[in-house]
Chains A and B, each alone.
Chain A
Amino acid sequence: EAGVVQSPRYKIIEKKQPVAFWCNPISGHNTLYWYLQNLGQGPELLIRYENEEAVDDSQLPKDRFSAERLKGVDSTLKIQPAELGDSAVYLCASSPYSTSGTDTQYFGPGTRLTVL
């Protein structure tokens, strides 16, 4: 079974430029998450989707960040314009619907963004 796929793996851009990250979750997983991981820190949730609906986006900086999950499968996270402080690893995760409530999340390898 294929895991969570993310692309690109690395991205270097200049500040004020736009950037987009793509995520393909594990087949059949209805919940998708985007996390931000700063150097030396644990992941922090940016947004959570249940199918195509964003059910938890209160930690997404909406002035410059946007996300979409059309058709409830793939998702794109965008930053426009990027700032120096956005340099970090952006992780995507997915989880299946679970009646037991564990919501076990499976993570992709992440996209490492460097803003110059």
Chain B
Amino acid sequence: GEDVEQSLFLSVREGDSSVINCTYTDSSSTYLYWYKQEPGAGLQLLTYIFSNMDMKQDQRLTVLLNKKDKHLSLRIADTQTGDSAIYFCAEKRDRGSTLGRLYFGRGTQLTVWP
């Protein structure tokens, strides 16, 4: 399909790990991003991964990329109540009329229970 797909909701208990999954559409996309959006706020860049990488770790965040399946995941270790937000996956398409555009998924609402 043409859309970046994400599951809409995820609930975890505080201290557990969270895994948010995303399927993107274009195998030629060069960069994949994870953004976080808190209520009433804009999008905050969490991390990104270049398409020739399989994994990227940044403190509590681990990004895994399966380019063959066009699957991206974000793992948050030791999830805290402050991590409750909407998480958006985005791909940067770099060909044709969509050159350089970011395409976002619908977002995954992460709820962390104390």
Question: Is A56 part of the binding interface, using a Cβ–Cβ cutoff of 8 Å?
Answer: yes
The reply to whether B48 and A41 form a contact with Cβ atoms under 8 Å apart is no
The reply to whether A110 and B42 form a contact with Cβ atoms under 8 Å apart is yes
The reply to whether A103 and B100 form a contact with Cβ atoms under 8 Å apart is yes
Q: Please count how many residues in chain B sit with their CB below 8 Å of the partner chain's CB atoms.
A: 24
Interface residues on A, range: 20 to 34
The reply to whether A102 and B31 form a contact with Cβ atoms under 8 Å apart is yes
- Known contacts A101-B31, A103-B92, A104-B48; is-contact A91 B101 (Cβ 8 Å): no
**Which of chain B's residues have a CB closer than 8 A to the CB of A77?**
none
Task: Pick from B12-20, B61-69, B71-79, B104-112 the stretch touching chain A.
Answer: B104-112
Report which residue of A4, A43, A107 has the largest number of chain B beta carbons within 10 angstroms of its beta carbon. Answer: A43
**Which of chain B's residues have a CB closer than 8 A to the CB of A4?**
42
Known: A42-B105, A43-B102, A93-B42. 11 other contacts (CB 8 A): A40-B106, A40-B107, A41-B107, A42-B90, A42-B104, A42-B107, A102-B31, A103-B92, A104-B45, A105-B45, A107-B42
**Which of chain B's residues have a CB closer than 8 A to the CB of A58?**
97
The reply to whether A45 and B106 form a contact with Cβ atoms under 8 Å apart is no
Question: Is A53 part of the binding interface, using a Cβ–Cβ cutoff of 8 Å?
Answer: no
Question: Is A14 part of the binding interface, using a Cβ–Cβ cutoff of 8 Å?
Answer: no
